[in-house]
Amino acid sequence: MKILHTADWHIGKKLHKHDLSPDFDLFINWLCTSIQENKIELLLISGDVFDLANPSSDARKQYYKALLKLRNLDCKIILTGGNHDSPAMLDAPGEILRELEMHVVGSLRKNIEDCVIPVKGKSGKTELVVAAIPYLRDADLRSASDGNTYDDRLEAIRMGIQNTFLGAAEICNTKYPNIPALAMGHLYAAGVETSESERDIQIGNQAAFQASQFGEFFNYIALGHIHKPQKVNALVPTYYSGSPIPLSFSERKDEKRILFLDTEKSWNPQSIPIPVFRKLLKLTGNLSELQTKLSELLDYSILNNLIELEMIEEHYDATKLYELDKLIQNFNKPGFEIVKSRVNFKNKVSGASELYAGSPQLEDLKPREVFLELLANHEYNVDINQEILGAFDELMEDLQQQEIPNEL
């Protein structure tokens, strides 16, 4: 069977208030062509379909239009929910989508057998079975996460994840013996490289899951959540496909891809590079160097390229701040937009200039980073410090997972 693995679409994402919906439309058009060219029979989408739990009407419309385009290709689809998704919103049209051979698993089912999906080939026989495991939320792991200490809670979460995958493997093996099986997951595996655009999960990423805990039953494990494409060191082929478009400037050098499997040949996937629809550029230097770099830009992209500027100067100079602001306001080069700027003065000075002296701006910090700064002002011992930070991480995750009522 020929399979494509993708994840982390983040429909509705804005990068520094810049709408990325045109990028996603171009990706879907390219994806449809790739499915046709490679004669794909099954498409796996491993979570974080939307960027927000309560996506806008435009984002939902874009999602359903994408599914319709894909459905017209006679390709089966299995889609799981991620930590950014509302399980209820994804699951609501599930019965209708299933009739169109689109299986959506937004939340972990009470009976894990309902997450195990047999996939029939052209012969009409079941050729593959997929354990479609969505992002595992606190409620899914709560029975195993009531440890007394911080370390107990971390270990309980890891064991809860492990037991979920091993349970799914047992069902696949018992109900569909001698049939190849793969699993889908949305989680943070230990040792992987992250980017700025991922949200910390499962106690601030501290409950990192050891990939060896997946076991060795599944032929392939299709992961989502990490936006940088990479292989995971596991007992079986285990990969993050990565996000199809750059979602932060930290991803500007990543080669975005989808993963292609031909199960008759190998369970090790091939990367299919996704075209670059626009570039994310980070330009650094003093004021004069930035002026030169902006003047020398050449446009070869379909969409406007987005620029982040960082002016680095030795000493504070109010005139240079004014000149930088004027440079940004007057910048009008076709094919380019400046969406963010920052200033770094190497030799910090006191007074109002401290605002521009290279200190991170509040909007650039994650809540956990702000809390760590606050925590550093108190002299707690190591154990108490860890407990407080763990409690904060759990509160943040509870807040992020609260489902906002959706209009369906």
Chain-centroid distance, C-alpha 114: 25
* pLDDT tens-digit series, residues 368-402: 667 766 766 666 666 666 666 666 665 665 565 55
Q: Which residue has the higher pLDDT, 6 or 357?
A: 6
Contacts of 73 (CB under 8 A, 6+ apart): 32, 35, 36, 40
- The DSSP string of 152-185 is HHHHHHHHHHHHHHHHHHHHHHHHSTTS-EEEEE
Segment 187-199 shows an average pLDDT of 75
Q: Which of 56-60, 140-144, 197-201 has the lowest mean pLDDT?
A: 140-144
Q: Are 129 and 218 in contact (CB under 8 A)?
A: no
Instruction: Give the pTM.
Output: 0.84
Q: What is the pLDDT of residue 379?
A: 67
Please, which pLDDT band fits residue 200 given cuts at 50, 70 and 90?
low
Q: Listing from the earlier edge strand, what are the strands of the sheet with 280-285?
A: 280-285, 305-315, 336-347
* pLDDT tens-digit series, residues 330-374: 999 999 999 999 999 988 654 444 444 444 555 556 676 677 667
Q: Which residue has the higher pLDDT, 230 or 362?
A: 230
Please, which pLDDT band fits residue 1 given cuts at 50, 70 and 90?
very high
- The DSSP string of 70-87 is HHTTT-EEEEE--TTS-H
| Host H or E run for residue 344 | strand 336-347
Other C-beta atoms closer than 10 Å to the C-beta of 173 total 14
By residue count, the chain amounts to 408
Structural domains in the chain, sorted by start: 2-273 (3.60.21.10), 280-359 (3.40.50)
- Residue 317's nearest CA partner among 288, 340, 337 is 288
Segment 141-159 shows an average pLDDT of 69
pLDDT at residue 101 tops 50? yes
CA angle 273, 101, 120 (to 5 degrees): 85
SS3 393: helix
Please, which pLDDT band fits residue 14 given cuts at 50, 70 and 90?
very high
Q: What is the pLDDT of residue 407?
A: 38
Alpha-carbon distance 335 to 305, whole Å? 6
Q: Which residue has the higher pLDDT, 246 or 406?
A: 246
**H-assigned helices in 223-339:** 287-295, 318-330
Q: Are 11 and 51 in contact (CB under 8 A)?
A: yes
DSSP state of 374: H
Dig out the tokens for 121 from the structure.
């080939």
What's the chain's average pLDDT?
Answer: 86
Q: What is the pLDDT of residue 158?
A: 83
Distances (CA, A) of 355 to 215, 328, 351: 51, 19, 8
At residue 180, what is the residue type?
P
Alpha-carbon distance 104 to 47, whole Å? 10
Segment 172-176 shows an average pLDDT of 96
Alpha-carbon distance 203 to 211, whole Å? 18
Other C-beta atoms closer than 10 Å to the C-beta of 114 total 12
DSSP state of 11: B
Q: 179 — alpha (psi -120 to 50), left (phi > 0) or beta?
A: beta
Please, which pLDDT band fits residue 124 given cuts at 50, 70 and 90?
confident
* pLDDT tens-digit series, residues 237-251: 999 999 999 999 999
Q: State how beta strands 220-224 and 181-186 pair.
A: parallel
Alpha-carbon distance 232 to 236, whole Å? 9
Q: What is the pLDDT of residue 159?
A: 87
Q: Which of 79-83, 99-103, 297-301, 392-396 has the lowest mean pLDDT?
A: 392-396
